[in-house]
Structure 1
Amino acid sequence: MKMTVGGRAVSYVLAYLFALLALYPIVLMISSSLKTNREIFASPLSLPKTFSLDTYKKLWEAVPFADFLWNSVFVSALSVLLITVFSAMAAFYLSRFSFTWTAGLYFFFIIGLMIPIKLGIVPLFLLMKNLGLLNSLWSLILIYTASGIPISVFILTGFFRTLPIELEEAARIDGCSHFQVFWRILLPLIRPALATVVIINFIHAWNDFFFPLIFIQEESLKTIPVGMMVLFGEYETDWSLLFAGLTLSALPMIIVFLLASRQFMEGLTAGAVK
């Protein structure tokens, strides 16, 4: 059924209002990062009177923010890469090969969605201690990879199963091996699912506060969520510095989403329209 002109206008108005509500906190955060502490408390909802980047310069001098930023980028990017590679290969196997243990293996990954990984914090701590990975970024990478694989396998397996088997058969007739079918034929067709996996796991790894707090003690190895805690004073907090740090920490997530937003939306709506 076609939408009338009035109904379309109402839907556009509602969409614009929702966009304004969603963007307002971001605008408020950026404007607060350009103010002084006195301006923030005097007029928290107003725009800054003068445009100055002094707060950002002060931030880089007050804390080792460059180290925090690099640690977050390294951990998040490498975790997402490992999750995407291993999950795609596992999903291809589960969706295209049928053995007696395939269903049990798939259920093993599904269990990972049911059990929160934080319940195993004590065994994880002892494991990382025995491996000599305490106070190492690799402890975070391994944990994020292990916790991100179950949901990624679940998403990618569903996408692989929607692809027609005739594509794979035609490729095999042309002489493609299992890996060539996976890499050259099927993988490019599930880009929306891959974008969904990348965004979900990048946001989780980038924003996580719990595991860096447990496994990282050295100041130069902290990620942004934990490193920003030094800006909270016992008696006074410089909110302008805090908002500047939050603005810089949000930029990578915004960039990743903008780069993969189209594929991400296709992944979310796949199967909704026949």
Structure 2
Amino acid sequence: MATTLAVPGTAPATARAATPPGRRTGGVRAALTSTLLWVYAAVAILPLLTMVLNSFRTNQELVSEPLGLPAEPSLAAYQEAWIEASFSTYFWNSIVVTVGSVALSTVVSLLAAYALARSRSRLMGVIEQVFVSGLMMPVFLMIVPIFYLLDAIGMVSTRTGLVLVYAAVSIPFSVFVLGTFFRQLPGELEEAARIDGAGPLRMFWSVMLPLVRPAVATVVVFRFVPIWNDFFYPLILVRDRTRYTLPVGLTTFFGEYQTSWSTLFAGLVIATLPLVVLFLLATKQIISGLTAGMGK
């Protein structure tokens, strides 16, 4: 009888043949997809990295070597942009308007979405359709009545007026997203809370709200970014330069410092940094909210 000798360090031919062809194809596809994603991430990060590096360089270095590294990193461009170019004022206005409008719209939308999602009355269904219909209204068509309304109540060129406008525009989307999440929660949770003696507010705050943290993080991110970058409403509704937000202030900034490249890059970094921080924080919140909901 003939015997088969296996060479040390090699697998038998039968073991190699046992690997399904589909599994090998799936591994190749996964490796190719991962490589393409890493290449895309590098291409997307490269402009941001170039912007940050150039903000620490001088104008002479940028003219002589546009894509080089900082010879002697300096914060002079940031100081000039923050103080002399009034970026501190623009930045503070954007923080107040964006955070205020997102916070106001999120609180109102949470309460409205919870009431609409857990109610079964026909009237609540009609009210929900009114909220959702706001998604179909182009914001640019509302600027004329909004301007006359703010002018009549004396809120043109005020941060409060912008906060109210942005909050009102954000509510339809927020109610739609949050209402979808509230409907996915089982009703047994509310019944158990009622048996334990919890009232409606206690039930909402302690039981339902922790379970929709992923939705809250999604709403905050999706409303923070467009409001922070919005140019249209502040341009029309704000006349005082001291009330400009960053997008409108950047237009004036580019006109005054068009030859100071390092200052321009520093201003762009200042305008972009809050969005990067928000995305990092929101990612952690979404993951923690999902795991908390699964654990409960």
Q: TM-score, normalised by structure 2?
A: 0.84
Distance 1:235 1:203, change over 3 A: closer
Shift of 1:8: 3.5
Q: For residues 265 and 108 of structure 1, what CA distance do their matches in structure 2 show? A: 32
Q: TM-score, normalised by structure 1?
A: 0.90
Shift of 1:116: 1.3
| Within-5 A mapping of 1:1-274 | 4-233=26-255, 236-264=258-286
Contact 1:231 1:238 in 2 (8 A): no
Contact 1:193 1:263 in 2 (8 A): no
User: Gaps (5+ residues) in structure 1?
Assistant: 269-274
Secondary structure at 2:69's aligned position in 1? Answer: coil
Secondary structure at 1:49's aligned position in 2? Answer: coil
Which residue identity lines up with residue 220 of structure 1 in the other structure? T
Shift of 1:38: 4.2
Q: For residues 116 and 267 of structure 1, what CA distance do their matches in structure 2 show? A: 33
Q: For residues 233 and 71 of structure 2, what CA distance do their matches in structure 1 show? A: 40
Q: For residues 288 and 109 of structure 2, what CA distance do their matches in structure 1 show? A: 19
Secondary structure at 1:98's aligned position in 2? Answer: coil
Contact 1:232 1:238 in 2 (8 A): no
Higher Cα Rg: structure 1 or 2?
A: 2
Matched residue count: 268
Distance 1:146 1:235, change over 3 A: closer
Distance 1:193 1:267, change over 3 A: farther
Which residue identity lines up with residue 116 of structure 1 in the other structure? P
Post-superposition CA distance 1:118-140 (Å, at most 9, x none): 21111111000001001100111
Percent of paired sites with the same residue: 43
Distance 1:138 1:35, change over 3 A: same
Farther off after superposition, 49-58 or 156-165: 49-58
Contact 2:214 2:287 in 1 (8 A): yes
Secondary structure at 1:232's aligned position in 2? Answer: helix
Which residue identity lines up with residue 195 of structure 2 in the other structure? I
RMSD of aligned residue pairs (Cα, Å): 2.2
User: Gaps (5+ residues) in structure 2?
Assistant: 1-21, 291-296
Q: For residues 156 and 209 of structure 1, what CA distance do their matches in structure 2 show? A: 27
Contact 1:228 1:242 in 2 (8 A): no
Shift of 1:42: 4.0
Which residue identity lines up with residue 41 of structure 2 in the other structure? A
Q: What corresponds to 2:3 in structure 1? A: none
Distance 1:26 1:265, change over 3 A: farther
Q: For residues 179 and 138 of structure 2, what CA distance do their matches in structure 1 show? A: 21
Post-superposition CA distance 1:65-101 (Å, at most 9, x none): 1111111111111111111100011110111012121
Contact 2:98 2:228 in 1 (8 A): yes
Q: What corresponds to 1:272 in structure 2? A: none
Distance 1:173 1:230, change over 3 A: same
Shift of 1:216: 1.4
Q: For residues 216 and 226 of structure 1, what CA distance do their matches in structure 2 show? A: 9
Distance 1:266 1:61, change over 3 A: closer
Secondary structure at 1:133's aligned position in 2? Answer: coil
Contact 1:92 1:157 in 2 (8 A): yes
Secondary structure at 2:197's aligned position in 1? Answer: coil
Post-superposition CA distance 1:151-182 (Å, at most 9, x none): 11010000000111111111111111111111
Q: For residues 116 and 23 of structure 2, what CA distance do their matches in structure 1 show? A: 41
